[in-house]
Structure 1
Amino acid sequence: MAITMLCLIGNGAALAQSSFGAIRVEGNQRIEDSTVLTYAGIEPGQRVTTGQINDAKQRILGSGLFESVDIQAGRNTLTFVVAEFPTINQISIEGNRRLNDDILQALLSSQPRRVYSPTIAGADARAITDAYFQAGRFAATVTPKIIPRSQNRVDLVFEVTEGAVVEVERISFVGNRSYSDRRLRQALSTKQAGLFRQLVRRDTYIDDRIQFDRQVLTDFYRSRGFVDFRVLSVTPEFSRERDAFFLTFNVEEGQKFKIGTVDLATDVPGLDLALFDGAIKIRQGQTYSPARLDDTIARLERRAIEEGIDFIRADPVVDRDDTNLTLNLTFNLTRGPRIFVERIDIEGNSTTLDRVIRSQFRIVEGDPFNPREIRESAERIRALGFFTVADVNAREGTAPDRVIVDVNVEEQPTGSLQLGANFSLEDGVGLVFGLSERNFLGRGQQLDFSISGGVDNVDSRLRFVEPALLGRNVTGVFDLYYEATQQFSAFFNTTSLGFEPSISFPISDNGRLELNYRLSDDDISDVSDDSSIIIQNEAGALTTSALGYAYNFNSRRTSLDPNTRYGFEFRQNFAGLGGQTNYVETIVSADYGTKVFNEDIGLTANFIGQALNFVEGSSRVIDRYRGGGTVRGFKRNGLGPRDTTAINDDALGGNFAFGVSLEADFPLGLPEEYGIRGGVFYDVGSIWGLDITQGTNGPVDDDFHLRQVIGATVFWETPIGPLRFDFTRAIEKEDYDEVRNFNFTVSTRF
């Protein structure tokens, strides 16, 4: 692309400034001469220097339309000889397996039927490389190549060499004194590479995830009272083989603060502070956390609305006492600006109805504007799980005292299909099929269908959930089920067909009340001739019509303590309103869990008590409690009253049951990336009580007999879920009980 200057004057100095009567363009096929001359910026007869001619050449090259530009200068003619870039015929990406074409094509600026530009192709290659970088493949390389075609066209090919995933081999911390590295690693979304590194991708180094973990770590500490906590730096270091990262979080914990005094103040004339005393749940001596502070502010502002006092804002004033490591709080109730919600605009929802999104707002058009309520509404919309993006913002309305709330969402798939198999020591191998839609017809309703079972049992259910029945904070549920067993840990068959509608609603911050009804047909059939006479006499089908209620208290609904949870449930069912059975069933359960020793050890306690009292007639084996979940270490139907005088040695179940379980889980000292923890537990309980105690060849022992079991557990976090292996030993049992010394389950733990 050299510049050729032809001049007949013979004087080089004379070329320092020349004029040309004609300016021509040669070599162009698609681009008009006028377009090239426009980029050149030189007019015929204009006196130009060599530098100006070079600038014109650079402007033509800078247009991105030409591969090369030569300049030929004659006595009276300046000629630009150009070579156009070819047109892109098609674009393909080769060598990519981890990221599909659709993802990578969306990153490209180069397009078919447009002019090929090496600069743009190079930028596209870098964009693809960055996508692999975000996926943890730091060794990925992308090379753009062109394949010439006829008519000055080329095929553009991006050749990808993906390279291996760069994993996080080790995560360590510097400066942490209160919590171990192991506990802090549990809080992070980034994980160390473990046994299932080919299936679990949270051990892949992704820079955005590391930035997210900085905030996660900050929230973890500040929710536990460390108000001065800071992440000073995060240092990633490549291994010598350049196939793994070693991450080091350098942190500064600071001191742990508790709540000191808590006071109320106001500058609003005539405002009675006594109205707000019950809204303050934060107490002196509690560990300080931003969540406790925000909860108290929200309670105070809601109380003002309940009392009909609008535009009240609760501004916290924090007085720090470094000597006693306490924060003294004063909530100052002030009058905020008089601003109203003009309207709520919703965009981006093509399937979800507007009313589903609007139901997450506690305000409507015309209500006083409260920024806190808008933020909480945004969180509730995101918690629906219907959207990948849910942004809620307020802007000025048609007047200074009006705001418009804009809701912008992007929907995501909400349906799922489940196909699989399950296995248990008692039930063997079973198949599972399920369909689920969490946003049925865009109405925010949930529809589930599932069927599972094995050789000897089947369980199928259709469940419909309306979370806002009649537009209120009432959940309506409709369950239709069919269950059948065939000699399933017993010597008889059972079938149950029924439906259970229910409604539930909150009656306090943590408590919900449920009202339910059940209509079912329960059949016992094909009872073996060798079975207990008690079960033989219970054979046949009976219809049950039962009304019931349940009160449930769960601290997790408004939990401000990250380490402790507790719950309680009281349930009663009354059968006899129609049907052929007449009884009262009462179930009481409670659970508690906490973490101790700097949150490295988890402690849980569970209690359940059950009673079945028949008003008329007697219970049947299909109704009675037969040991499921009461005490571990026993087979299904393995404890409780049993007709040992029958040939089949039948388990009869009991009308009463209770169980208490105490458990601790702890690290075993193994590398954390294995995901293995240990545990120990102690269970105690019993099943007892029959209406009829005369068995096949004599009386049946239905007395209360205590069972006690101790055990050890191995917890293993795997991609298919948390696995649990229980090794048990019954230290107190009856001779006729059937024990199981080992059990394997998929379990969750606190």
Structure 2
Amino acid sequence: QVLIQRAKKRLENLEFFQTVNISTAPGSQPDQVVLIVDVVEKSSGDFSIGGGYTTSGDESGPSVEGSITEKNFLGRGQYLRLSAGTTLFNDQNYQSYGLSFTEPYFLGERISAGFDLYKRQSGVTDKYQTDTTGGSIRFGLPIGNDLTAGVAYNLSQQTITIDDAALTAAGIPDPTQVSQAYIDAAAQGAWVKSSVSWSLIYNTIDDVKNPHDGIYAKFEQEAAGLGGDASFLKTTFKSSVYKTLSEEQDIVGLVRVGGGYIKELGSNGLSVFDTFQNNTDMIRGFSSAGIGPRDTRVTDSDGSFIGGTTYLNATAETQFPIPLIPDSVGIRGAVFSDVATLFGNDSSYAANTDMQWRASVGASIMWASPFGPIRFDYAVPVLKVDGDQVQNFNFNMSSKF
């Protein structure tokens, strides 16, 4: 029965079927049974389009993104996704494109193979903008039922452009408006990264859409230096543990920990493109790239954070149904507490490089919508450092383990 339930859960996690039922019938021998798998198919393709409005100080602008996803391309279980988006911010039009494809049984073997291509433009602040173009080729090999190994080759090119708002009257970048680290990166031109990465993933999550029990753990290393400018060894790990605290009340506990460290290997040093920057996966309640080492000569926090070489983070969360809302709607609530630290930077422009902890508490609303999982977070920092950038509200459309 344990193996049958495991097979049922794996079929459901494919997201090809609306329902999966497994029954038995007498076999040809007394010690044998016939398994009858009864499924109801559902559409495996999605078309989505969304919009938003970004604000940052006096700057604002609309954004729109659309994507087409097919999880069972040509009926072969292949995954294909095309996406495109545009954001109007700081009087500039930033565009992004992406193409991903995965073959789950490469050459008829239990090996997945795929590739990703992308181009992203972003105006992080009104001080500088980034342009990234790249791609990867990846392979995955299952080791047993719960452990998977992966390897990939990655190639990307990144550039920084200093905006007019960070230039002096003579047209020279002003180090009091944007960090000298970004000015140097812009003067250097394209930063090319050629790397190989490998990973191990352990996954016993019972339901990817609504996890109640199980462990998700990932260890990954990336070695750059196969040509290009970047030369480093980056190590990251993360682990999430789900546990049902009350079956009757449908209350679920979650503990998540993670960390990373990057070691320079070559003589080119670490670029601002290579260091770790915080995001909502690390800690909520703070802006993206809003904590950690920074250039204190910059009078405005925007454009001053230059990333760190080490980070550690942890989350404790309790998820529960919301009273008076039927379970069929798929809306749940959560309360959480996050802690994180981001530190270490050998740049001569860096300050606040020592380990300093940040912490936040907050509440969330999670919706298993027809368009995919949607989550709204509101977090309040309870421990921060002078100069940190606060962002209380966060919204995302993804499942994260």
Which of the five TM-score ranges fits, normalised by the shorter chain? 0.7 to 0.9
Q: Which runs of 5+ in 1 are unaligned?
A: 1-290, 299-375, 397-404
Q: Distance in 1 between matches of 2:325 and 2:390?
A: 34
1:614 is aligned, of 264, 270, 278, to 264
Please show how residues 315-354 of structure 1 align to structure 2 within 5 Å.
none
Cα deviation for residue 708 of structure 1 reads 1.4
Secondary structure, counterpart of 2:282 in structure 1? coil
Q: Deviations over 1:81-110 (max 9, x none)?
A: xxxxxxxxxxxxxxxxxxxxxxxxxxxxxx
Cα deviation for residue 579 of structure 1 reads 1.5
In 2, are the aligned partners of 1:415 and 1:436 still within 8 Å (CA)? Answer: yes
Residue 665 (structure 1) aligns with: 319
Q: Deviations over 1:214-270 (max 9, x none)?
A: xxxxxxxxxxxxxxxxxxxxxxxxxxxxxxxxxxxxxxxxxxxxxxxxxxxxxxxxx
1:534 is aligned, of 177, 181, 184, to 181
Cα deviation for residue 442 of structure 1 reads 4.4
2:335 is aligned, of 680, 687, 694, to 680
Q: Deviations over 1:99-128 (max 9, x none)?
A: xxxxxxxxxxxxxxxxxxxxxxxxxxxxxx
Residue 509 (structure 1) aligns with: 145
Q: Partner amino acid for 1:712?
A: A
Cα deviation for residue 439 of structure 1 reads 3.7
Q: Deviations over 1:326-381 (max 9, x none)?
A: xxxxxxxxxxxxxxxxxxxxxxxxxxxxxxxxxxxxxxxxxxxxxxxxxx69x859
Q: Distance in 1 between matches of 2:201 and 2:240?
A: 12
Matched, 1:736 2:366: no
Q: Deviations over 1:158-211 (max 9, x none)?
A: xxxxxxxxxxxxxxxxxxxxxxxxxxxxxxxxxxxxxxxxxxxxxxxxxxxxxx
Q: Partner amino acid for 1:662?
A: A
Please show how residues 455-534 of structure 1 align to structure 2 within 5 Å.
455-456=88-89, 457-485=94-122, 487-489=123-125, 491-526=127-162, 528=166, 529-530=173-174, 531-534=178-181
Secondary structure, counterpart of 1:534 in structure 2? helix
Q: Distance in 2 between matches of 1:671 and 1:407?
A: 33
In 1, are the aligned partners of 2:206 and 2:214 still within 8 Å (CA)? Answer: no
Please show how residues 197-276 of structure 1 align to structure 2 within 5 Å.
none
Cα deviation for residue 558 of structure 1 reads 10
1:597 is aligned, of 246, 252, 273, to 246
* TM-score between the two structures when normalised by the length of structure 2: 0.78
1:656 is aligned, of 310, 319, 327, to 310
Matched, 1:292 2:2: yes
Residue 634 (structure 1) aligns with: 286
Q: Distance in 2 between matches of 1:722 and 1:409?
A: 23
Q: Distance in 2 between matches of 1:742 and 1:615?
A: 38
In 1, are the aligned partners of 2:215 and 2:240 still within 8 Å (CA)? Answer: yes
Identity %: 29
Q: Partner amino acid for 2:357?
A: L
In 2, are the aligned partners of 1:524 and 1:622 still within 8 Å (CA)? Answer: no
Q: Partner amino acid for 2:197?
A: G
1:448 is aligned, of 58, 81, 97, to 81
Cα deviation for residue 716 of structure 1 reads 5.7
Q: Which stretch shows the higher mean deviation, 380-389 or 468-477?
A: 380-389
In 1, are the aligned partners of 2:276 and 2:310 still within 8 Å (CA)? Answer: yes
Q: Distance in 2 between matches of 1:681 and 1:558?
A: 21
RMSD (Å), alpha carbons: 4.0
Secondary structure, counterpart of 1:638 in structure 2? coil
Residue 308 (structure 1) aligns with: none
Q: Distance in 2 between matches of 1:389 and 1:563?
A: 19
Residue 421 (structure 1) aligns with: 51
1:519–1:677: structure 2 CA closer, same or farther, 3 Å change rule? closer
Residue 385 (structure 1) aligns with: 16
Q: Partner amino acid for 1:606?
A: R
Q: Which runs of 5+ in 2 are unaligned?
A: 28-34, 167-172
Q: Distance in 1 between matches of 2:77 and 2:371?
A: 28
In 2, are the aligned partners of 1:425 and 1:743 still within 8 Å (CA)? Answer: no
Residue 546 (structure 1) aligns with: 195
Greater fraction helix: 1
Residue 68 (structure 2) aligns with: 435
Q: Distance in 2 between matches of 1:606 and 1:538?
A: 34
Q: Partner amino acid for 2:130?
A: T
Q: Distance in 2 between matches of 1:707 and 1:382?
A: 36
Secondary structure, counterpart of 2:182 in structure 1? helix
Residue 31 (structure 2) aligns with: none
Q: Distance in 2 between matches of 1:614 and 1:574?
A: 10
Q: Deviations over 1:513-536 (max 9, x none)?
A: 001110111112236312222221
Q: Distance in 1 between matches of 2:237 and 2:270?
A: 20
1:669–1:569: structure 2 CA closer, same or farther, 3 Å change rule? same
Q: Distance in 1 between matches of 2:197 and 2:374?
A: 35
Which of 1 and 2 has higher RCO (CA within 8 Å, sep 6+)?
2
Secondary structure, counterpart of 2:181 in structure 1? helix
Cα deviation for residue 680 of structure 1 reads 2.1
Q: Distance in 2 between matches of 1:598 and 1:443?
A: 37
Secondary structure, counterpart of 2:347 in structure 1? coil
1:744–1:471: structure 2 CA closer, same or farther, 3 Å change rule? closer
In 2, are the aligned partners of 1:424 and 1:744 still within 8 Å (CA)? Answer: no
Aligned residues: 368
Q: Distance in 2 between matches of 1:488 and 1:447?
A: 29
Residue 170 (structure 2) aligns with: none
Cα deviation for residue 593 of structure 1 reads 1.1
* TM-score between the two structures when normalised by the length of structure 1: 0.44
Q: Distance in 2 between matches of 1:727 and 1:493?
A: 27
Q: Distance in 2 between matches of 1:517 and 1:603?
A: 36
In 2, are the aligned partners of 1:435 and 1:449 still within 8 Å (CA)? Answer: yes
Q: Distance in 2 between matches of 1:472 and 1:581?
A: 34
1:393–1:598: structure 2 CA closer, same or farther, 3 Å change rule? closer
